[in-house]
């Protein structure tokens, strides 16, 4: 509990056996009420390892649903467990779990409904090994979205996120993709609803055992960001009706 609120950490996992244990060990277990791991049909022993280190809530998909599909399961199960605050922590150890306390506190105190761990604030991204082409793409896409959405964030592409229960219950997550673009679609839904988003500086770590998407899927993600941003803008202007962006 934090400030009397139930805190649940969700871990969308796929082949995370190499990094899961050290990620789990760094969680602030004194305030985390439950940890949920959703194994998206891994080829390794992610689920077995999760059980051995003490994670009680483990869901294993009987087929690979994709990164977005995994998150949909994560959030629904967290709400079913009575979560007041939900933090998504990637089990690949790319983001430090030690920031969970700070992120949860901002929500528990009613400062924000959503908090992002930003790799771009400060010097954490390149210093932590983020490839320069990914850094450049991040900056270009973020500038594009800041201009069109008229909402300023340091980055729209971090996977380290905390949400209040009330926010999650307002989003049409089932209308989003099951692929990597889910993250961006969800963030734009939050902005569309008028929620304020907080950001904190997050050091990051890019190593061989950290997850990464291919160049082809990165291009697909970038095109998806552009398409989703235009959908948001046209919906705001009343030119189109979107099932994703609803009042």
Question: Domain spans of the chain?
Answer: 7-236
* Global pTM value: 0.94
Q: How far is CA 151 from CA 51, 192, 227, 233, in A?
A: 41, 10, 17, 12
Residue 66 has pLDDT above 90, yes or no: yes
**Of the candidates 19, 66, 94, 15, the residue with the CA atom closest to the CA atom of residue 179:** 66
Calculate mean pLDDT across residues 209-234: 87
Residue 209 has pLDDT above 90, yes or no: no
Q: What is the pLDDT of residues 91-134, one digit of tens each?
A: 999 999 999 999 999 999 999 999 999 999 877 677 777 778 88
CATH fold of 7-236: Spore Coat Polysaccharide Biosynthesis Protein SpsA; Chain A (3.90.550)
Token pair for 151: 């909402």
CA distance linking residue 43 with residue 62, whole number of Å: 12
Q: What share of the chain is helix, strand, coil (3-state, %, to 5)?
A: 40, 15, 45
Q: What is the pLDDT of residues 128-149, one digit of tens each?
A: 777 788 889 999 999 999 999 9
Q: What is the pLDDT of residues 34-49, one digit of tens each?
A: 999 999 999 999 999 9
For residue 208, the model assigns a pLDDT of 64
């Amino acid at each position: 509990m934090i400030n009397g609120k139930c805190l649940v950490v969700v871990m969308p996992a796929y082949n995370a056996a190499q990094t899961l244990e050290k990620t789990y060990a760094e969680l602030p277990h004194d305030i985390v009420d439950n940890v949920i791991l959703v194994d998206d049909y891994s080829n390794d022993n992610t689920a077995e390892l999760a059980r051995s280190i003490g994670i009680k809530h483990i869901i294993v998909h009987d087929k690979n649903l994709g990164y977005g599909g995994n998150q949909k399961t994560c959030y629904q199960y967290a709400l079913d467990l009575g979560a007041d605050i939900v933090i998504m922590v990637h089990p690949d150890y790319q983001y430090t779990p030690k920031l969970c306390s700070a992120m949860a506190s901002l929500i528990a105190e009613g400062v924000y409904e959503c908090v992002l761990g930003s790799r771009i604030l400060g010097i954490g991204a390149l210093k932590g090994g983020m490839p320069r082409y990914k850094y450049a793409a991040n900056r270009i896409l973020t500038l594009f979205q800041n201009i069109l959405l008229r909402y300023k964030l340091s980055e729209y592409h971090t996977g380290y996120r905390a949400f209040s229960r009330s926010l999650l219950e307002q989003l049409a997550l089932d209308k989003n993709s099951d692929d990597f673009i889910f993250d961006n679609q969800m963030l734009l839904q939050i902005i569309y609803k008028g929620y304020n988003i907080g950001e904190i500086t997050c050091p990051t770590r890019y190593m061989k055992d950290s997850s990464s998407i291919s160049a082809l899927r990165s291009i697909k993600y970038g095109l998806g960001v552009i398409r989703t941003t235009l959908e948001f803008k046209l919906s705001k202007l009343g030119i189109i009706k979107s099932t994703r962006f609803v009042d």
